Every structure is written in structure tokens, then in C-alpha cells.
Amino acid sequence: MSVTIRDVAKRAGVPLRATVSKVLNGRLGVRKATREKVLQAARELGYIPDFSARSLVTKRTRTLGFLVHARHTLSPHAFYGEVLSAAEQEARKHQYHFLFATFNQGDEAVPLTLLQEQRVEGLILAGCDIPRSLIVQLKHGGVPLVLVDNHVPGVHSVVIDNEGGAYEATSHLIRLGYTKIGFLCEWLDDLSFSERFAGYKRALHDHGLPFRPELVAEGEPRTPGSGHIAAQRLLDQGPPGSGRCGQRPHRNPGHANLSGGWPGRAHRHCRGWVR
């Protein structure tokens, strides 16, 4: 038989169930000593909140949605996997939980379904492959949004300094004495890669080096192993460079772990903030 608020109130010695409800719902207006007694009683009895009943009363689900493109891996050490894990940990501190969903290109109805059927109270949209039109539509609908690794004017976002990171990585290689530095990426039309490409070119310019288009190689858009494809394309051109900057190294099969230098020559590793 499930534990009720009445059981918690009796165990804690609190006469008013309304007081117990306040504590268990994280509301203010309860003395510290009383709050601690209620929480201790709830732990001892193994009390589990009935979120369905609570949402009927409060009109809130305390549920957030996390949306990412289906092509992204969410293994523990993958970028978006770590983002989701950290978001879940923080949400639990505030008695929220997540609904996770993926979508493919042309299947942008997924977040709308989350909103309509699951009644999520807000959305985290992870990745710069979330269609801008969908972001604008959700924003205009009044949905609380946070973008990760993406930015759209007027929408809250959490991003890294793509341009600055690539600028520093390229400058580092230049300071080591390299003058022919390649840039590898999945796709230059991708927002993150285009920003990193800008940082790469700015570093070359600031250090007085020419930009050489033949040292830039793209993989295949939205394709697993695209980093490997880009690296192979640059290698197939012959040894034009002494250092490479661009793709984030991965240990996963299909992702290139890029390093400066060519076979038979001394080399140094370049690890830039790029996928």
C-alpha cells in the first residue's frame, strides 16, 4: 500500500496535512524544525509523490523536454550525453524530471507532440541542427526555451566560444612554428563549424599568414564518420601542411583523432574545440 501525506503527517507529529504538503512541494512558510521533521518522516516511510495527482491540482507537470537530432550519440562520454546527464542532475534538485526525444530532419512535430500530449513546461533544444523555423515557432508560442550549442536572437542559449577556441588553437600551432595549418570539419554550413572556421581564418590573418583554401576539407553533412572523411580528403591532396586544426578528436570508430604532421615527420597534436 502506498504511503500518503496523512501517513507522513502522523509519523512527523504534524497535525496539519497542509503543512506537510507545503514541505513536500518545496513551498515556503514552514519553520525549519518542522520542515526537517516532515522530510525525515518522508524518507523513513519511503514516501513517493503522486505526480499525476499533483499536476491535476497545480496544473503543472514539473516535466521538461530535451530534444536532440537522432544522429547524435548520447553515450556517457558524448557531448550531448554529458549535457543531458548534467541537466537531469540539476532538474532533480528542483523536483523536475525530463522527457527525452529525438527527431530526424522533416520530423519537427516531435517537440509539438511533447508539449501537447506530455505537457512539458519547458524545452532544451540541443544542437545547431535544430531548424531555426521550429525555434521561432516555439518561441512565438510562449514556450520557455533554452538552446545548447546554438543561438537565435531573443532565445536563451548556452554556447561555447567556437570562434575564440579555434582562434586559440590555430594561434598555438603558429607559435610552435607551423605555417601551413589545415582546417577539417563536417560541414561549413553548420553554425558551430562556420564560427570555428572564422576563428581559424582570423588567427591566420592576425599572424600574417595567408589563407589557403586547399588546406580546408569538409566531410559529409550529417554523416557518421564525417571527420574521417574530411581527414582523408585532405590527406589525398598530398602533404601541404605541417599542422591541422578543426575536428574534435574522438576515440569512437569513424571519428578522426587528428594530429599535426605527416607520416615519417615529427608532429604535435592539435585538439581544437571543433566537432
The grid cell for 159 is 554556447
pLDDT of residue 118: 64
Average pLDDT over residues 202-210: 96
Grid cell 561555447 in the structure block, residue: 160
Alpha-carbon gap, residue 246 to 273, rounded angstroms: 7
User: Is residue 244 a contact partner of residue 184, using CB atoms and an 8 Å limit?
Assistant: yes
pTM: 0.63
- Give the DSSP letter of residue 214: G
Give strand ranges (E) for 203-270.
Answer: 216-218, 243-245
Q: Which position has the higher pLDDT, 77 or 117?
A: 77
Span 122-129, mean pLDDT? 90
CATH code at 5-49 = 1.10.260.40
pLDDT of residue 270: 36
Half-sphere exposure of 4 (CA within 13 A, CB side): 7
What is the rounded CA–CA span in Å between residue 212 and residue 136? 37
How large is the average pLDDT for residues 117-136?
Answer: 84
Tell me if domain 63-158 and domain 162-245 are identical in fold. Answer: yes
pLDDT of residue 115: 67
Band (174; pLDDT cuts 50, 70, 90): very high
Q: 47-61 burial, b for 16+ CB within 10 Å, e for fewer?
A: beeeeeebeeeeeeb
Provide the 3-class DSSP secondary structure of residue 63.
strand
List all residues 6 or more positions away from 26 whose beta carbon is below 8 Å from its beta carbon: 94, 95
Q: Report the topology of domain 162-245.
A: Rossmann fold (3.40.50)
Whether the predicted pLDDT of 55 surpasses 50: no
Q: Tell me the residue length of the chain.
A: 275
Whether domain 63-158 has CATH 3.40.50.2300: yes
CA distance 196 to 246: 8
Which ranges of the chain does DSSP label H, i.e. alpha helix? Answer: 5-12, 17-24, 32-45, 51-58, 79-93, 110-117, 132-140, 162-175, 191-206, 226-236
Please report where in the chains the cell 548534467 appears, as a residue: 86
Instruction: Write down the pLDDT at residue 245.
Output: 54
Domain boundaries, the chain: 5-49, 63-158, 162-245
- 63 close to 99: Cβ distance less than 8 angstroms: yes
For residue range 71-114, list pLDDT tens digits in order: 777 776 788 888 998 999 999 888 888 888 888 777 767 776 76
Whole-number pLDDT of residue 164: 95
CA angle (19 as vertex; 15, 25 as ends), nearest 5: 145
What tens digit of pLDDT does each residue of 157-173 get? Answer: 999 899 999 999 999 99
Residue 83: closest CA among 60, 56, 64: 64
Q: 99 is written with which cell numbers? A: 522527457
Q: What per-residue confidence (pLDDT) applies to 177?
A: 92
Give yes or no for residue 202 having a pLDDT over 90. yes
